[in-house]
A = this chain, B = another copy of it.
Amino acid sequence: MTETTYIPPKVWQWQAGNGGKFANINRPVAGPTHDKELPVGKHPLQLYSLATPNGVKVTILLEELLAAGISAAEYDAWLINIMEGDQFGSGFVAVNPNSKIPALMDHSVNPPQRLFESGSILMYLAEKFNAFIPADAAGRAECFNWLFWQMGSAPILGGGFGHFYAYAPEKYQYPIDRYTMEIKRQLDVLNRHLADKEFICGDEYSIADMAIWPWYGVLVRGGLYDAAEFIEAHTYTHVLRWANTIAERPAVQRGRMVNRTWGEPHEQLHERHDASDFLLKTADKV
């Protein structure tokens, strides 16, 4: 492979299968590949997801809402296996035309409302249940500054660093250097911000924390891309303190289990339809 002599063609041509770990599920076109209806359970909220960082944001919020006594946030969580192409089924594409998890249907309104993009789902649910967004205007604005910061930053972590460090078919130095520099800068942004705050928006735990933690919190704790040593995660002391605090919340621990198909058996709850589903998993742990 002599990259230095590569000259792009005038018109790009797709060569299928040349995309690393997720090559088989990546395509240059959108839309459904097959007909498949989505299941609908008994609760008003129907989640179609997988326990990736973006998926976990939503299950953490739903579990936090339930832990706060908001029973209207009861939900069914159905597994979308992205390695098998579930996200290209006609039913899923109708909920999220972008074919990415998480996707949510709210059947408590008429007609039922579709929601896609984790940030949009977090905002919708937090506003619907009036929780986990600071009530004052200044706090609300700052909360959304950081929620949008996560949405714009994490594609560089997941779609850039994660791909080239962990998933690409070969190790290329230039992209790894490029994306490592940027995610270290992002972590330093968070570290300085959290130096004098318990949570992202101050004293109040919010959807900004729930959006940022599954990416940057899990990263510094060594749970993402096995990259903690490479990026010197131990130097981001305030991020680590914040990440460890959130990791101890029972709702976060439950949220991480939902739609998870990897790890230890007791960490995996492939589908979630009732609070008691978590209790059954305790047996797996013993």
Contacts and interface: CB of A to CB of B under 8 A. Distances in A.
Interface of A: 1, 3-4, 6-12, 14-15, 18-20, 26-31, 97-99, 109, 111, 113-120, 123-124, 137-138, 141-142, 144-145, 147-149, 151-156, 159-160, 163-165, 168-178, 180-182, 184-186, 188-189, 191-193, 229-232
B116 A171 contact: no
A183 B115 CA distance: 22
A187 to B, nearest CB: 9
Contacts of A230: 8-12
A198 to B, nearest CB: 17
29 contacts: A3-B170, A3-B174, A6-B170, A6-B173, A8-B171, A11-B232, A12-B177, A12-B230, A15-B177, A18-B174, A18-B177, A29-B185, A29-B188, A97-B192, A97-B193, A98-B186, A99-B189, A109-B138, A117-B145, A117-B148, A120-B147, A123-B148, A124-B141, A148-B151, A155-B156, A160-B160, A163-B178, A168-B174, A172-B175
Copies in the complex: 2
Contacts of A15: 177
Contacts of A173: 1, 3, 6, 8
Looking at A7, A152, A169, A175, the one whose CB has the most chain B CB atoms below 10 A away is: A152
Given A29-B188, A152-B151, A159-B156, A115 B98 contact: no
Contact of A192 (B3, B31, B144, B229): B31
A113 B134 CA distance: 14
Contacts of A174: 3, 18, 168-170, 172
A26 B152 contact: no
Nearest to A110: B138
Nearest to A103: B145
A188 B26 CA distance: 13
A163 B164 CA distance: 15
Given A4-B1, A11-B229, A175 B175 contact: yes
Contacts of A182: 26, 28, 159
Looking at A109, A120, A176, the one whose CB has the most chain B CB atoms below 10 A away is: A120
